[in-house]
Structure 1
Amino acid sequence: MSIVPASLSTLGTNPEVSALPLAVVLNPRSGREPLAQRLSVLRRLFAEAGRQHAFFMAERGADLPRQAALALGWAKARQGAVIAAGGDGTINAVVQTVLPSGLPFGVLPQGTFNYFGRAHGIPANTEQAARRLLQAQPRPIQVGLLNDRAFLVNASLGLYPRLLEDREAYKRHYGRNRIVALFAALATVLSRRGQWLIEIEQGGQRRSARTSTLFVGNNRLQLDQVGIEEGALLDQDRLAAVMVDPVGPLALLGLGLRGALGRLGGSDHVGSFGFRQLTVRPARGSDKARLKVAIDGEVMHMQTPLVFRVSPQPLRLLWDGQGPAS
């Protein structure tokens, strides 16, 4: 995820931002800190800053769209901002509602990986993140679109959505932490095989390709960590595509190791390129097939053709400009 280039839009500091009312959509299941502690900290800091505020609790993932809509209505009526408190999936769900409105949007990262927050140097600690939020100004942030759905970190099809489904199953049984996520990934790689024959259209040219995964990134931190050089293109109003050849389980484990070492882009089995718009169809069968995709960690089905593109409307992120975290 990257800041939109200054040539596209610039927003200077605005003293009125320091008085923005805050509508907080909170996922109680996210975060390592107890819910009561998080709420106590936020209420205290917002009160000390003289900020009008309200909390909208999403007890289940299915509640997020409704709570986000209620928060948006509350913020619109008070010319305020909407804040998402949760992991990348929670943040994405709230963005779907907030992006078309143009209202300022803030985040309190409380997930497992927090790629969006970390890319902007926003701490996972609730108090630290809230203090930074209270000093932030709205800045335009690039958003990716898969058909009509926004994504901030990545969107994909193939093996990656299956990996996410298996990871969630493991988390339900063994807890939500990175070690569990790692073992879930290993189990998926060793037990699943698959390849997809797809047709790609880019810049008026079509070609067929076999792949185990098509991964489209919009988060430079994530791409840089695994060694994909096209992450730099996110600063040029583009997205980055990564395609993995169909290979066996051992070769996939090797690719996972290369990614952990930041050398994935150097593999002969991995191709990557930047683009502004990319259309993907099944190379065989109906053009209107439904494919399983993953968007910012959430798995769903979408009807083809799948069109990946940069959103013409940026997100007005409340950010203090302190830079990405490692």
Structure 2
Amino acid sequence: MGSINVKNNKLYLDFRYKGQRCREYTKLIDNSSNRRRLGQLLKSIEAEITLGTFDYAKYFPKSKKVEKFAVLAERKRKAKAYFESPDAPRLNEFAEIWLSEKQIEWRKGHYEDVDGILRKYIIPMFGSKKISAITKQQILSFRSTLAKVPGRKGKVLSPSRINHIMTPLRMMLTEAADRYEFTSPWKNIKALKVGRTEVDPFNLQEVELVIQSAPANFKAYYITRFFTGLRTGEIDGLMWKDVDLKSKTIAVNQSLVRGELSDLKTEGSYRVVMLPDRVVEALAEHKTVSSLKYKYVFTNTKHQPLNYQVISRSVWYPTLRRAGLRPRN
């Protein structure tokens, strides 16, 4: 808040503007009438500073600070012009361009995950904004809002999930800043700290309970899963041509995710798995009852590839309940 002070029996104003202390001297003698006069002037100045309409040159045209603040205003104008690129599109428009370009790079499952995040979280918040005009404060405010969004089973979104949602926004801002020549606001924004994941493995006794409690047509499936360590996509995409019961091996060559067969993520994922006798026996028995005209080892009742979400909901968790075991992945 500004004040009226005196020096050499002459009044002067003391106030702050744009973070700087300003002293403007007058030729008015220190008396009650002049103090009232300057008091009204000071109220007008402070009101205009609050509203963002204050013009220094209007009140103090001969002040040395006029030029100083004019230089600062010009720098701000140029910075804003650089920040808000005239060629940059709105975020929802750029999101469509960016996704279409990434579709050829990404797996179907990853593409659908990112597309879902954009449409559920990012576009409703930023879609109508010019992508070059999104600020750091808006990004941090958005992240704070996510921390209050209900997740599964009524719980709020975890730090890991929030980081996962923020990643596409960061990638788009970085790419757009490079294309349209503006400065990305994503500076010094660190990912939320994620706590250690508690590993809750099955012991051998629990494994046996699961196998005993599984439906007859899924016993071979779970025996193979437990004793080979194949990932969900790898076992769902397993084909008879890759199973050699004589040499007791499985060649892991592909993965089935959301109904789409694709290559494995890394070169190290391509491997040959040695089978223990129990798996060999289970697969040999399964082979006698499965329809070999279908290429997949494990299929549903319609002889179609397995859908992980359906199996999880209709087979896995009911099996755990029958086995008397706590729910877990």
* TM-score of Structure 1 vs Structure 2, range by shorter chain: under 0.3
- The higher radius of gyration belongs to 2
Q: TM-score scaled to structure 1, two decimals?
A: 0.21
Q: Which has the higher contact order (CA 8 A, sep 6+)?
A: 1
